[in-house]
Structure 1
Amino acid sequence: MEHQQNLGQSIPLPFMKMHGLGNDFVVIDSRRTGALPDAATVAAIADRHRGVGFDQLAVILPGENADARLVFFNADGSLSAACGNATRCVARFLMDETGARALRLATDHAVLAAEDAGDRLTRVNMGAPVLDWAGIPLAEDVDTLHLPVPGDPVATGMGNPHMTFFVPDAAAVDLERFGPAHEHHPLYPQRTNIELVQVVSPDEIILRIWERGTGITLASGSCSCAAVVAAARRGLTGRRVRVNVPGGVLEIDWREDGVWMTGPTAHVFDGVWRG
């Protein structure tokens, strides 16, 4: 979808800093204006030394047939159709604002259902995974359960593309080298997120993450969902799995109506970006 981008670097820009298990976000509430930051502003805010710093930036827009619409940016200023932990953070913010216990949030991927899971936990349905090569998308028709890539990874779409590797020891892999070496793989015309999965048991995995356009992150909702979908398709786990990421724990449940993700959120501070 085309988005208007008319918030330049010179305009004072109120924002919220939030995180889900250390997967951190700048959130801009543009429900009154409908405005989006341009790519240069996004990249400037993302700079952890000269800006605010974030893994992804989310903009809240007025919703059409939903409670709100969300637009996501990667740290390099590129757009992303999905960001699960940011969706949970925004859902918690809107539920606290309105007193609602359930919401519908529109994204470029799908309209996502979110709900209060109790104990200050927030649950969101990330929608059905995309398992077809063209929908992920991949560059050619290949078996998405066994990609023709060294390491035998799995391809999954969760509104963004994923390549999931199963390894005996996730901590032993040099992700600083492994991630960028695979993010731009020619099979993925839109680049890809990389997951390293160590299976602990049929209902628990350890996950390390390289996000396209961002790098190593402490957590990722869409990556956690993709990892569980890949593990379940391979028969390595069930469809309800405890996912241990460096920032904490997410509960992923691949149901008939989509992949549900449950976890904590935090609203850290509010600020104003002045460029």
Structure 2
Amino acid sequence: MSQVLHTPPPTTAGSAPAAAESPAQLAARHGLSVSGARPSLPQYVRQLWARRHFITAFATAKLTAQYSQAKLGQLWQVVNPLLNAAVYYLIFGVLMGTKRGVPDYVPFLVTGVFVWTFTQSSIMAGTKAVSGSLGLVRALHFPRASLPLSYCLQQLQQLLFSMIVLVVILLACGVPVTASWLLIVPALVLQFTFNAGVAMAMARFGAKTPDVSQLMPFVLRTWMYASGVMWSLDVVLADRDLPSWVHTVLEYNPAAVYIDLMRFALIDSFQGSQLPDHVWAVALGWALLAGIGGFIYFWKAEETYGRG
């Protein structure tokens, strides 16, 4: 009996022994795949779309919980940018005189602050989207891009809430309601796409190097000063003898483009002549470049998030 069990099967003359399967071949034959492997780009997009309800619910929950411990609650969503606008008005508008030559300076300033805050908060939240949610990333399997997208959606919801106050300020300052207000919709769609793309790119940076989140406030503050939030770039650049490329960089930087588009849509005294040439094409180009580029850049490291 023992001899029967341990005797190898006979081989025919001239035949070679069967080659042993590698682990990869064995796994493929049984339909197994690597746990947490990066899906293809089309499959990844489908996974994100399938979890669109989770992304929306997560964003809403984060927005609701953001000021849940404060006595003023969700009013801080409006109070914070309004306080920033008041400080900027005092320092830049009054003390530094940047309101000279700018009609409707208060609507001009408040619109710039609200729109800039949307970009700033989206990028800052995106930087910490993965590194600040390691427990969730390691516990559940889902497309990680859901996190930066949900944070950007949260900031968009906050901006829409703040827009109610912005409309009240515009009306109180005598700015009329015109058909151009409809341009808010495409401008916000393009800005959201841009913000989401940059947030996803920064989420990958932040996942590997958490110290990036400490540096970003300084980068964003510099970017804010170069984006005409508190002053008109046209007025400031007209008084300075700077190289032409400096004018081009400042006028076509994406934050300034989206701020100017929103001002053009809302403020009657902000004329099309103050916009850069082909501004809508530029806004679309920035949105596609950042949105698609940031998404692909984030997707390429999908299997590494939460490890190490």
**In which range does the TM-score fall when normalised by the shorter chain?**
under 0.3
The structure whose RCO (Cα within 8 Å, separation 6+) is larger is: 2
- TM-score where L is the length of structure 1: 0.26
Higher-strand-fraction structure:
1
Q: Larger Rg: 1 or 2?
A: 2
- TM-score where L is the length of structure 2: 0.24
Higher-helix-fraction structure:
2
